[in-house]
Amino acid sequence: MSIQVQKSFAAASEPSHEPTPGTLYLVATPIGNLEDMTYRAVRTLQECDIIAAEDTRQSRKLLNHFEITPRKLVSYHEHNKHNSGPELIRLIAEGQNLALISDAGLPAISDPGQELVQLAVEQGIAIVPIPGANAALSALIASGLSTNRFTFIGFLPRDHRGQADILQGARAAEGTLLLYESPHRIIKTLQAILEHVGNRRIVLARELTKRHEEWLRSSVEEALAWLEEHPPLGEYCIVLEGQPQEEAIAEANEWWQTLSIAEHVAHYEQTEQLSRKDAMKRAAKDRQLSKRDIYQVLLDE
């Protein structure tokens, strides 16, 4: 692995005939309330040679509101990133400054901006974040759940297997879990959470910073019941409690869950030097089975 150091300001150097590369600016935009736009974000968008936007139609509304006339506005999104990305990097390498914006919030969070950043890193291009609004962190700090540790999951995959893999992998996380979801899929996502993670405390933050901002603090089951009577509207941030300590202790005490009964008995025989009879007795106690049940399984194998 090589070390790459980026300086914020260029140091004096010998004159070169090579063009001085530009900079990639990652500019945060409001997640709803336009008053969340920063002075620095407006100035950066005014000064950059190129603005790359996820949806140029949506971005023009924002630019017009702040009376920003872009020198060049281009589209960069999930469906054209493989073609547009290298071209944008070429323009930056030739000396043009580029500002990347998403439809809302920080670019490169649950959008293709991360690929553009990776390309810039590979080419040694300077990358400057222009901080601002972020839906996930805004939901977290007002949720009432722990902010000491957290894991950002974003949008879950649409297929059941993908959802199961991610949620089961995150089940044992001590920190709070952060997800995004659309109103059309929020109920299915909560059902998947209930199935794979359990009925934990949850906060649903809807339409953050907008006129109809709403917070629901409940359990997963209660949230599902609420949504049956109040049809989902708007984009949701899901803030889900991490694994409760008592649940973690219970799972730690059930270390044998992935073992077969034969492996369970063999474990006690080998690690604690128990007799076959005593090892069967311990395994039966762990599994809340009778010793006779354990013996019968071993006979059948």
pTM summary value: 0.78
Backbone angles phi, psi at 65, to 5 degrees: -60, -40
Question: Same domain for 111 and 40?
Answer: yes
- Give which of 278, 280, 300 is closest to 292, Cα–Cα: 280
CA dist 294 and 255 (Å) reads: 18
16 lies in some domain: no
CA dist 24 and 212 (Å) reads: 35
CA dist 177 and 242 (Å) reads: 6
Question: Same domain for 103 and 151?
Answer: no
Question: Same domain for 264 and 228?
Answer: no
Question: Same domain for 124 and 141?
Answer: no
Question: Same domain for 168 and 219?
Answer: yes
Question: Same domain for 228 and 275?
Answer: no
Question: Same domain for 29 and 128?
Answer: yes
What's the CATH number where 77 sits?
Answer: 3.40.1010.10
CA 47 and chain centroid, separation: 31
Both tokens assigned to 11: 């140091």
Residue at which a domain ends, from 118, 133, 148 = 133
Ordered mean pLDDT values, 10 residues apiece, the chain (301 residues): 66 61 97 96 98 95 96 94 95 98 93 94 97 97 96 94 90 92 97 94 97 96 97 95 76 72 85 84 82 78 64
Total domain count, the chain: 3
What's the CATH number where 195 sits?
Answer: 3.30.950.10
CA dist 282 and 274 (Å) reads: 9
Question: Same domain for 81 and 143?
Answer: no
What pLDDT shows up at residue 251? 61
CA dist 278 and 282 (Å) reads: 6
What pLDDT shows up at residue 12? 44
- Full domain range(s) for residue 165: 136-243
Number of helices and strands (H, E) in the chain? 12, 10
